[in-house]
Amino acid sequence: MEKVRAGVVGMGRGCGLAKWMAQRIPQYEVVAVCDRSPERLKSRAAEIEVPDLKLYTDHRKMLAEEQLDAVMVETDPCAIAEVACDALYSGRHVICDVPLSYRLHDCWDIVIAVERTGLKFQMGEQLRYARFIHEWQQMNMEGRLGKILYAEGQYIHDIGNGRMFWDPVQGRYYGVADADGVPGLVQSDRRPMHALTYNPHELSPILKVLQDRVRTVSCMATRRGGYTYQVPDRSDLEVALMRTEGDTIIRIVNAFGCPDPGVRQHWYSFMGTKGQVELKRARWDRPKVWFKDENMADYVAVEDLGWSPAEVKEEAAGTGHGGLDFYPMYRFARAILEDTPTDMDVYLAAEACAPGIVAGISAEYEGLPFAVPDFRPGPHRKAGEPPATYMARSLYGDIEREGATHHPRGNA
């Protein structure tokens, strides 16, 4: 195979990514795109600027009619598992966006589909390709931080009360204020979700630095309905504490209804027995390091690398998130063409998503700790077989839940 013939499902963010795929990554030939919303499909597909691009409103028809090697799934998270599994079982490699889902069952479905088909799978979390993450991982591997005791990550993104309803025909979001009286709207999957379910941008880089997985989670949320925007069902802010297999405590704060100046939307820090690192907290601030054995009386400011990538490719410049959006797609094509493992395989993907789903469950029990399922095959489960339960179990008491309360799109 010289080029990966690709189809892209979901023409929101997927439209821009398909365009970069077609124009910047010569390893791809973008053959077809698909969106359930006919109006959105028509208007967005033209922006990709690929002659003879095939358009579909049904991903199964696209899979049946097109000669594709791979599918990029850019649907809303509630639809990723269905499309990804259909693509895998039809013999296509799959790259999808974050998160895999808001439900544990969907994560399991994808894990099992990858195990049964043996095809390549990648979750396209892109912040793990940042240079500072690469450098912190190196520091950890070289032992400069000692044993990492504590890590923090946070995603503070004030999304207001827009995107709360969805028009499936026009492919348009409506906010709380402008949805009144508009016919045919369904609740958008962004409305009642727990902020912590959108967690891979924090956990993916943190777990990459640690080379670890989360074992247990406890989470608390401020009241549903919020203070800032009064969005029904949504908390303004959620905080999770997680313990990893390797005994690091991680604290994650996610907030979609908490105003902030937008400097540290994604922010991370690590604290070890021999050193500490953290990103800047304000525009006038700098990232900092401190190493116990290097005679440092205080934290030392270091270069602000922003979102610059660890591996510099000219073609990445100008793609989203400081150019990082380029890398998952580029590396996925190389993994297919060179038959090498993907950077974020299905286990790493599930391990970056499931703790956030479990955090949403825990928040509904006022912080009751829950165990995170182990998605890797072993004595408890053979590869390709379903698990004994799709649920997360509480550590105390007999509570089992598959996902937190939410109303995915179309199921209001």
Between 39 and 364, CB nearer to ligand NAD: 39
* Cis peptide preceding 51, ω within 30 of 0: no
Residue 97 touching ligand NAD (CB under 6 A): yes
Is 239 a binding residue for ligand NAD by CB under 6 A? The answer is no
Task: Residue 358: name the closest of 236, 243, 205, 260 by CA.
Answer: 243
- Choose which of 19, 24, 40, 381 interacts with ligand NAD (CB under 6 A): 40
In terms of DSSP bridges, do strands 28-34 and 4-9 run parallel, antiparallel, or are they unpaired? parallel
CA distances from 140 to 128, 147, 238, 277 (A): 15, 8, 28, 10
CB 261 within 8 A of CB 285: no
Task: Considering only residues 110 through 129, tell me which ones interact with ligand NAD, judged by CB under 6 A.
Answer: 126
User: Which residue carries 């599994």 as its tokens?
Assistant: 85
Q: How far is CA 317 from the centre of its chain?
A: 22
User: Is 218 a residue that touches ligand NAD (CB under 6 A)?
Assistant: no
DSSP label at residue 381:
B
- Of 55 and 337, CB closest to ligand NAD: 55
As measured in angstroms, the least distance from the Cβ of 165 to ligand NAD is 12
* Least distance from ligand NAD to the Cβ atom of residue 189, Å: 7
Q: Which of 4, 8, 9, 237 binds ligand NAD (CB under 6 A)?
A: 9
Q: Does 360 bind ligand NAD (CB under 6 A)?
A: no
The count of residues interacting with ligand NAD (CB under 6 A) is 24
Beta pairing, strands 148-156 & 165-167? unpaired
* Contact partners, residue 32, CB within 8 Å, separation at least 6: 7, 8, 53, 54, 55, 56, 62, 66, 68
Minimum CB separation of residue 291 from ligand NAD in Å reads 32
Name which position in 22, 30, 71, 98 contacts ligand NAD (CB under 6 A): 98
| C-alpha neighbours within 13 Å on the C-beta side of residue 194 | 30
Residues 263-322 that bind ligand NAD (CB under 6 A): 321
Interface stretch with ligand NAD, choices 76-84, 295-303, 331-339, 397-405 (CB under 6 A): 76-84
Identify the residue among 29, 66, 76, 364 touching ligand NAD (CB under 6 A): 76
36 forms part of the interface with ligand NAD (CB under 6 A):
yes
Inter-CA distances, 223 with 226, 235, 253, 361, 366, Å:
6, 6, 15, 15, 11
Q: Which residues pair with 121 in a beta bridge?
A: 94
Of residues 147-176, which lie at the interface with ligand NAD (CB under 6 A)? Answer: 171
**Positions of E strands within 39-87:** 54-56, 70-73
Among 48, 72, 74, 94, binds ligand NAD (CB under 6 A): 74
Which residues ranging from 340 to 359 are in contact with ligand NAD (CB under 6 A)? Answer: none
254 touches ligand NAD (CB under 6 A): no
Under the rule (CB under 6 A), what is the footprint of ligand NAD? 9-14, 34-37, 40, 59, 74-77, 79-80, 83, 97-98, 126, 171, 321
